[in-house]
Structure 1
Amino acid sequence: MTRHRLRVLIVSASLAVSFGAATATAHADANAVPDYEVKLDFLASAIDGSGVPTSAVRSAFGLSATASTRSYEYFDTGSRALKGQGWSVRLRHKSGKDLELNYKKRFDVTNGNVDAALSTANSAGFDSSDTNYDAQVDWGYAQQELSFSNDKSSSASTYSGTTLPGESTARGLLVSNIPGKLDDWTSKNWGTDRLSESAAHGPVTTKVYSGSWQGTAPSIEVLTVPAASGSGTQTVIEFSFTVDTRSEASNLRSQAISIADGKGWLYHGDILKTDLILDRL
């Protein structure tokens, strides 16, 4: 091969590589844009003897004294295979509504670096192009977590109140509606196999007090789970609201913490309801 011919081949190969890289870059999908749910846990001093948020709490956050009711349960294997891969699967029934099927993939947010978590999620296939999943950052007292939720529904016409289907029926419903990302997460039909061998954790039935505060729609959810000791119960009181942007979440979270802490209602930590239900029910 002549020197001239060799140089032409090298230049052509370089152009091909450059063009391929440019094409890959041009078609790379951007990171997802999450909304933000602020979640703060309150102490028992925030509710009265009947489990209703006190009048002072309701006044501070514009909450109603009348509650709506919901029941829900999670499904996982005995070894927590779904949780181990960052997935949770929940079936929920709000009074008067259809059954809600929720499949959620979670990503850790380290040192408040949401953008890094979004990039990690992008590399796992969760990006701005996937309209089947809603991206959200849970922002608690001490930690943040990024999640992507796929929500589906099923008729609850045969279930009164907040009643849930029996375990076998519920599991079959969740398996038949499983989204592709979960189903083929580590291998073909991995999610279906794990859900098929899963058990229900729950249900729990909770009271939710909703309202209006600072342009948001806050709520306090009150639920009871068995205590960690195995004797007695633990009541969880979770205050939450959702906003569109990080800056708005930061501002209103600071305000909510200031109000709750000043009144002696704030728990200085994060209580993960999903883990409590999986571990204790």
Structure 2
Amino acid sequence: MAPARAAYQVKLLVDPDHVLDAEGLPTDAAAAALSLGAPGRVEVAQYVDDAGQSLNGQGWIVRIRRHDDENRIRLAYKARFEIEGDGSEPAAVRRVMDRARLHNFGAGDGNYTVQVNLSHTRATLDFTNKKCRPVPGLAPGELPGLDLSRALVLDRLPGKLAKWGAKPVGWAQSVTASSRLHGPVRQANYPGRMFDHALETQVSRLRTATGELTWFTEITAKAHTLREAVELRSGLMGKLRAEGWLLERDAFKTDLVLGR
């Protein structure tokens, strides 16, 4: 099996105290610098895993998401592989592609989208299987409860997770059956531009380890090649750092949500 062909994304954290007002809306200065428009999409999401994060511990992330008030939910089963270093070295990306092939993730598998994520100092390779299911009767902004969420996840469980080679047969089904819901997290997405490159500013409300609510603000931008992604990350970090907005840590919100 040949290595997969990936898309690329840059993910950077910015300081909400400097780019958001008290209501969690972008300040005029941030909106001008990032050329932000009105939120193009509002979404709510929750994650399914047990209390010990057994799925996440094996590199799997299971998410249930709903866009605006649509009458369906979107399931995502994501296998995540860590890339050595900050993701800027092509050889490191090739090595993680080879490692993924040992788990049957490679070219020709149309069931998964493939993406390399570059954050501040951390990089990942993600394979995501996406499915949609109609769920009538949900109120605006509502997600399925625990029992229905478990049933939906089990019903559409992809083969690679159902037969995860590192664990006994039935492991993923057993974890899902004893899972709990992590979240929900509501996110507003603002389209924008910088360096004549499209980006998105994502604003979420999260709980800290002590239970307090705080804003989480992330800037994401797509790229076609690794070189373009590395250059884009460098340029965005320089600009955001000059403004005093950049948070010098990695932007992986899922880890925070699952850890609460």
The structure 2 residue matched to 1:109, chosen from 79, 83, 87, is 83
Tell me the equivalent position of 1:225: 206
What is the CA–CA distance in structure 2 between the aligned matches of 1:160 and 1:258, rounded to whole Å? 43
Structure 2 counterpart SS, 1:211: strand
| CA–CA separation in structure 2 for the residues paired with 1:145 and 1:225 | 22
Q: Closer, same or farther in 2 for the Cα pair 1:252/1:160, shift >3 Å?
A: same
Gapped regions of structure 2 (runs ≥ 5): none
Where 1:62 maps in the other structure, the secondary structure is coil
Aligned to 1:21: none
Query: Do 2:81 and 2:125's aligned partners in 1 also have CA atoms closer than 8 Å?
Result: yes
| 1:128-149 Cα shifts (integer Å, max 9, x gaps) | 1211111111100111011110
Q: Aligned partners of 1:64, 1:87: CA distance in 2, in Å?
A: 34
TM-score (structure 2 length as normaliser): 0.91
Partner of 2:10: 38
What is the alpha-carbon distance in structure 2 between the residues aligned to residue 174 and residue 214 of structure 1? 40
1:99 aligns with 2:84: no
The aligned residue for residue 272 of structure 1 is: 252
Higher relative contact order (CA 8 A, sep 6+): 2
Name the amino acid aligned to 1:142. T
For residues 67-106 of structure 1, the C-alpha deviation after alignment (integer angstroms, 9 at most, x for no partner) is: 6321111111122110111101000011043311000011
Q: Which residue of 2 aligns with 1:90?
A: 63
Q: CA deviation at 1:161?
A: 2.6
User: Residues 223 and 229 of structure 2 are in contact (CA less than 8 Å); yes or no, is this contact kept in structure 1?
Assistant: yes
Q: CA deviation at 1:65?
A: 3.8
Moved more, 148-157 or 61-70: 61-70
Change (3 A) 1:95 1:231: closer
| Structure-1 residue corresponding to 2:153 | 174
- Tell me the alpha carbon deviations over residues 192-246 of structure 1, each in whole angstroms, 9 at most, x when there is no partner: 2211111111111122212344564421111122222x15223211111222211
2:50 to 77, 82, 106: 77
What is the distance in 1 between the residues matched to 2:69 and 2:211? 34
Quote the RMSD (CA, aligned, Å).
1.7
Contact 1:58–1:65 (8 Å) recurs in 2: no
Following the alignment from structure 1 to structure 2, what is the Cα–Cα distance between the partners of residues 31 and 81? Answer: 27
Residue 152 of structure 1: aligned partner: 131
Partner Cα distance (1:241, 1:161) in 2: 29
Secondary structure at 2:18 match in 1: helix
Q: How many positions carry a matched residue from both structures?
A: 251
- TM-score, normalised to structure 1's length? 0.84
Q: Which amino acid aligns with 1:120?
A: R
Q: 2:185 aligns with which of 186, 201, 204?
A: 204
Q: Tell me, in whole angstroms, the C-alpha distance in 1 between the residues paired with 2:174 and 2:135.
A: 26
SS at match of 1:266: coil
**Which blocks of at least 5 consecutive residues in structure 1 are unaligned?**
1-28
Largest Rg, 1 or 2: 1
Counterparts of 1:256 and 1:148, CA distance in 2: 25
Higher strand proportion (structure 1 or 2): 2
Q: Percent identity?
A: 32
Deviation at 1:60, TM superposition (A): 2.2
Q: Is residue 55 of structure 1 aligned with residue 28 of structure 2?
A: yes
Indicate the residue corresponding to 1:237 in structure 2.
217
Whether the aligned pair in 1 keeps the contact of 2:115 and 2:126 (CA below 8 Å) is yes
